[in-house]
């Protein structure tokens, strides 16, 4: 019965890959451009350069508070993306599965990025929550204590948002028993590796070299969203649900729009 159900309710791989890659890039673009970029403009800083994974804001003449606002604005936008997406998700009808999946993934990426940045900064001292001049806790003393606290806070909050994201997937995946878990795991794995490939390909084009690729595209973006690799293990394996299994049919509209957006980005 499970194999028949899967045949009747396919998840189109091409649509899934393009939707996943697009969600990753939109999450990054909003974090960098709407977050750091807009904040830099708001405090009358000089936007020196905009990149796929960074915004270079000139801090000359800015107060310490203004600099911290520019730094914090990126993670704040990621957090808001997650909150807004999961508020909207219950209102998306099951008849629009592409939009349903896209909003779910965007919400999960937003929350994981926010909490993941805390861990990245706590461990490395770099990034938006780091102790460098471009970090939120610049000048905090003793530095080691603040970084340890960041790491501990992140472990708890990251697990919380991963568990919440899995719960939201549980509400839309449909089906009963272990099959929905396997299906959700497959979707999440494809989502992560689609985001990884497009992040690396776009990151390779940045003019600042391999350091930015490793610190932002790889560590912050892909490390921060690695919860996709294991979150579906938290799904209920004994569920009894009459909801039809989640379907994701091929949509050339979504594929075309997604590929166009990725090409432009």
Please state, in angstroms and rounded to a whole number, the distance separating the CA atoms of residues 2 and 130: 48
Please state, in angstroms and rounded to a whole number, the distance separating the CA atoms of residues 126 and 148: 14
pLDDT, position 1: 36
pLDDT, position 126: 64
Q: Which of 232, 238, 261 is nearest to 27 (CA)?
A: 261
Give me the phi and psi of 47, to 5 degrees please: -75, 100
Reported confidence tier of residue 250, pLDDT bands at 50, 70, 90: very high
- For the chain, percent of residues with pLDDT exceeding 70: 83
- Which residues make beta-bridge pairs with 58? 46
The string of pLDDT tens digits covering residues 180-201 is 889 999 999 999 999 988 888 8
pLDDT, position 91: 95
- In 3-state terms, what secondary structure has residue 50? strand
pLDDT reading at 28 higher than 70: yes
Please identify which residue in the block is written with the tokens 């690799």. 229
**Within 96-142, where are the H helices?**
97-124
- Of 204 and 27, more confident: 27
| Structure tokens given for 243 | 């909801």
- In 3-state terms, what secondary structure has residue 176? coil
Please state, in angstroms and rounded to a whole number, the distance separating the CA atoms of residues 222 and 114: 12
Lowest mean pLDDT among 10-19, 99-108, 216-225, 243-252: 216-225
Reported confidence tier of residue 7, pLDDT bands at 50, 70, 90: very low
- Of 165 and 5, more confident: 165
pLDDT, position 5: 37
CA-based R_g, the chain, Å: 19
For the chain, what is the mean pLDDT? 84
The string of pLDDT tens digits covering residues 123-141 is 666 667 766 777 677 767 7
Write the CA distances from 161 to 144, 156, 166, 228, 242, integer angstroms: 26, 9, 8, 11, 27
pLDDT reading at 217 higher than 90: no
């Amino acid at each position: 019965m499970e194999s028949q159900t899967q045949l009747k309710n396919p998840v189109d791989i091409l649509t899934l890959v393009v939707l996943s890659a697009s969600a990753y890039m939109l999450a990054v673009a909003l974090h960098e451009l709407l977050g750091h970029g807009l904040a830099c403009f708001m405090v009358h800083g000089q936007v020196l350069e905009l990149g796929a994974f960074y915004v270079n804001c000139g801090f000359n003449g800015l107060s310490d508070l203004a600099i911290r606002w520019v730094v914090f604005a990126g993670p704040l936008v990621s957090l808001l993306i997650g909150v807004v997406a999961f508020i909207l998700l219950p209102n998306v009808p099951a008849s629009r599965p592409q939009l349903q999946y896209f909003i779910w993934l965007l919400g999960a990426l937003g929350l994981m990025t926010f909490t993941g940045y805390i861990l990245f900064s706590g461990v490395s001292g770099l990034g938006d929550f780091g102790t460098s001049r471009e970090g939120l806790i610049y000048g905090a003393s003793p530095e080691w204590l603040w970084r340890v606290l960041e790491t501990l806070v992140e472990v708890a909050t990251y697990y919380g948002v991963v568990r919440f994201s899995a719960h939201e997937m549980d509400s839309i995946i449909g089906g009963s028993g272990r099959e929905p878990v396997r299906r959700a795991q497959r979707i999440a794995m494809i989502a992560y590796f689609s985001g990884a490939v497009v992040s690396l390909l776009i990151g390779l084009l940045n003019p600042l070299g391999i350091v930015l690729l490793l610190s932002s595209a790889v560590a912050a973006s892909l490390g921060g969203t690695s919860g996709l690799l294991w979150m579906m293990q938290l799904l209920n394996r004994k569920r009894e649900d009459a909801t039809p299994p989640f379907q994701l049919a091929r949509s050339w509209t979504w594929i075309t729009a997604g590929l166009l957006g990725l090409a432009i980005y």
